[in-house]
Amino acid sequence: MIDKLLPATLRRLFLPLIACGLLLAPTAEVAAHAVVTESSLKHKPIEVNHETEVVLHFNSNVELGLSKVFLVSKGDIYHPLEIASGKKPGQVIIKVPALSEGDYAIKYKVFAADGHITEDVLRFKVSAQR
Amino acid sequence: MYIQGLANFIDDFLGGLMLISYALVVGSVLWSFFILRVGTPAAAGDAVVTRSVKLLNIGAVSLAASVGTKLVIKGAVLAATLGELPLGPYANTVQFKAGLLRLILALGFIWVAKRLNQAPRDKRNWQIVALLTLPLVVSGAWLVHAVGRFEQRELLMITTVAHQLAAAVWFGCVAQLMVLWRTSRLNDEAKALWPLAITRFGLLGVSSVVLLLVTGLPLAWTYIGSWDGLFGTGYGSLVVTKVWLLLVALGFAFLNHRAGRLWRANAGDPTVTKKVPYYIEAETFILVGILFIAATLSSQPPSVDIPDRTAQVADVINMFKPRLPKIESPSHEALLAGEAGRVAVVDKVPSVAATEWSDYNHNVSGLFLTGMGLLAMLSYVRGLRWANYWPLGFVGLSLFLFFRSDAETWPLGPIGFWESTFGNGEVFQHRIATLLAFVLGVMELRARTHPEARKLQYVFPILCAFGGILLLTHAHAEFELKSEFLIQSTHTTMGLLAVIMAAGRWLELRLATNEGYVEGRFAGFIAISAMFLIGNFLMFYREPLY
Ligand SMILES: [Cu+2]
């Protein structure tokens, strides 16, 4: 159809233009669909030096076999975490090792059931209880 | 990182291409049965039918190609994101299976198109077409948002499929109208069919619009749910943009419909052959934009799922509010000093300098575009021929971008020109963008000042359409905070305007015949006004600090 639509010169220009367009693509981080709608980090802060489980609820079913979760500590050091699916659909349970006081983040890369891959960060603090 | 970003973008882009191809196939099928009336004694002639089958075939080929590439790219994105590709789990996803099914169905269409080409009147072939169409439409249900959801999953899947079907009928048939118009230049039978097809399409067009609205409203209601959700999220702002473009497309549809009625009332009314073909081309531009937005929507989290990351309507209004543009840039050292904290995962510190640097870049670009828009408006006043030199602004803009887009490279930063251009993907992109702005300026300058350069004139609207689609599919990065949505809302609006600019300028060029229709100049002025507005938004742009 394209070749009927465009004059000859343009036809020759068209593919290079498409190629340029693709090169102009933004190098954005992944923005996609599966997002956390609820996290246990909010109402149950992690205690110092205690192994815990963090429960995340996603807005969509998640393919565990195609997902990864990392603990990020100061200086942006990544540490892979074990994940399992919870009882409810969209629930993911993350095993967090014992942590000392400080700032951390959970970085997740998950594959939603509708085929979209999402990366996002949940930041949290571990502090001694008063 | 760069490869991953690129792969993601291609993934989104292919999503749009897939929708377009799907619409071409499904729309062409309905076109054959309802407009060409194949399989009945009153069927259109072989020449007309085979031309329309050709478009069906193009749709099928591009569907097969885009689905196939998407399956591979998705694997590449997974491999880049996870650092490995678990093949088993990947092949087991609903996405992979539904995609594979679509690929096979597309191949089926290619096969039957070949047979139809030899025997366009064979009823059996048309039965196969109808048989293939059903699973193609239904398989879409497993490729949408709804499939991953927990509530009302089936209902949402069915509604989405019906919505897609309606869009496909509209776009596919409009594309077929364009083919018929081309055919009618050489073929008398097609010429006789043309006004008839316009009127026959009326009913099909109106029913597809009704179906679009009837299915679109409950979908929007379910996925958005509130006013803030509509205006304060990326998902919502894309829906708003889609509605605006839909209104423009409906305007064209109305003009065509009216021309068809006029022709029936007094046979020989010239609008149907003089203007309608070009309206249909412009409508196609708009519909392509809409389909790309639809594809982008499916990679955004629905507004209802992110109530705590939604911006208020007031915040959004604030993004567009006129203010003095920032014409002072933070120092280069200040910018580089803040970079480490800005990109950190833990201990992230927002960088004031980075925000101000970006504001300055956007605002100054806006000044360029606003100025060009004003000059271009003047060029429509008789006797102000010098105003036709406005595309020179693009050349100025490209020089500005050359110096500003990458702080850490030559000529402002320590990294050399060649080293940075070929060593860093992002810098490479910016260099290409800069070059493109320059080339665009030079070409459009020639096109505006040398009326005989007819073909060159079309480069501008095509690049605008492409740029608009880039802005629309380019969702701004990680959505950690609502500020991301605020940035995105301005960029989406600019994408919308760029698509309108493309359609307007295209129409102006097409209607610039010896008769010199007013509509053409009107469309051209709208295109220029859209550019002016983009300039305004950029000029007032302020990145929220985060
Ligand atoms: Cu921007």
CA–CA distance, B265 with B259 (Å, rounded to integer): 10
Least CB–CB distance from B425: residue in A27, A31, A90: A27
Number of CB atoms found within 10 A of residue B326's CB:
20
Identify from A12, A116, A124 which residue to disrupt to test chain B contact, counting B C-beta atoms within 10 A and taking the largest count.
A116
A105 chain-B contacts, CB cut-off 8 A: 345-346
Contacts of B417 (CB under 8 A, 6+ apart): B409, B410, B411
CB contact under 8 A, B150 and A89: yes
Ligand 1 centroid from CA B494, angstroms:
10
Ligand 1 centroid from CA B292, angstroms:
19
CB contact under 8 A, B82 and A109: yes
B178 chain-A contacts, CB cut-off 8 A: 1, 5
- DSSP per residue, B396-426: HHHHHHHHHS-TTBTTTSSB-HHHHHHH-HH
CB contact under 8 A, B345 and A121: yes
Number of CB atoms found within 10 A of residue B295's CB:
21
The alpha carbon of residue B533 is apart from the nearest alpha carbon of chain A, in Å, by 23
CB contact under 8 A, B436 and A20: yes
Residue of B nearest to A64 (CA): B89
Global pTM?
0.84
Q: Which residue blocks in A1-130 are alpha helix, DSSP H?
A: 2-5, 8-23, 40-43
Number of CB atoms found within 10 A of residue B194's CB:
19
CB contact under 8 A, A27 and B436: no
A113 chain-B contacts, CB cut-off 8 A: 93-94, 147-148
- DSSP per residue, B488-510: HHHHHHHHHHHHHHHHHHHHHHH
CB contact under 8 A, A25 and B345: no
Using DSSP's 3-state secondary structure scheme, residue A97 falls into coil
CB contact under 8 A, A1 and B58: yes
CA–CA distance, A64 with A117 (Å, rounded to integer): 12
Ligand 1 centroid from CA A32, angstroms:
19
Ligand 1 centroid from CA B498, angstroms:
14
B4 chain-A contacts, CB cut-off 8 A: 30
CB contact under 8 A, B148 and A112: yes
Cα–Cα distances (Å) from A40 to A37, A46, A54, B11, B439, in that order, read: 11, 9, 6, 33, 54
B88 chain-A contacts, CB cut-off 8 A: 65
Ligand 1 centroid from CA B487, angstroms:
7
pLDDT tens profile B342-371: 767 777 777 788 888 888 888 888 899 899
Task: Tell me if A99 sits within 8 A of A48, measured CB to CB.
Answer: yes
pLDDT tens profile B500-535: 998 899 888 888 776 667 788 888 899 999 999 989
Which ipTM score applies to this complex? 0.72
Half-sphere exposure of B519 (CA within 13 A, CB side): 17
Task: Tell me if B62 sits within 8 A of B24, measured CB to CB.
Answer: yes
CB contact under 8 A, B301 and A35: yes
Identify from A10, A37, A56, A63 which residue to disrupt to test chain B contact, counting B C-beta atoms within 10 A and taking the largest count.
A63
Handedness of CA B226, B232, B235, B238 (dihedral sign): positive
Tell me which residue of B402, B399, B397, B409 sits closest to B335, measured CA to CA: B409
Ligand 1 centroid from CA B491, angstroms:
7
Identify from A27, A64, A83 which residue to disrupt to test chain B contact, counting B C-beta atoms within 10 A and taking the largest count.
A27
Using DSSP's 3-state secondary structure scheme, residue A28 falls into coil
Helix then strand then coil, % of chain A, to nearest 5: 20, 45, 35
Sheet bearing A36-39, strands edge to edge: A36-39, A52-58, A91-96, A77-85, A62-73, A102-112, A117-126
Cα–Cα distances (Å) from B234 to B222, B476, B482, in that order, read: 16, 9, 9
Residue of B nearest to A68 (CA): B82
- The DSSP element (H or E) to which A125 belongs, if any, is strand A117-126
From first to last of its 546 residues, chain B has per-residue pLDDT tens of 455 666 666 777 888 899 999 999 999 999 999 888 887 777 777 888 888 999 999 999 999 999 999 998 888 888 877 888 888 888 888 888 889 999 999 999 999 999 988 888 888 888 998 999 999 988 887 777 777 777 778 888 888 889 999 999 999 999 999 889 888 888 888 888 888 888 888 888 888 889 989 998 988 888 888 888 888 787 888 888 899 999 998 998 888 888 878 877 776 677 777 788 888 888 888 898 889 888 888 777 888 877 777 777 777 788 788 888 887 777 777 777 777 777 677 777 777 888 888 888 888 888 998 999 999 888 887 777 788 888 888 888 888 888 877 666 666 666 666 666 655 555 666 677 678 778 888 888 888 888 777 778 888 888 888 878 777 776 444 444 566 677 777 878 888 898 899 889 988 888 877 666 778 888 889 999 999 998 998 888 887 765
Instruction: Specify which residues A91 forms β-bridges with.
Output: A57
Identify from A6, A36, A59 which residue to disrupt to test chain B contact, counting B C-beta atoms within 10 A and taking the largest count.
A59
Q: Copy the structure tokens of residue A4.
A: 């009927």
Least CB–CB distance from B345: residue in A27, A105, A111: A105
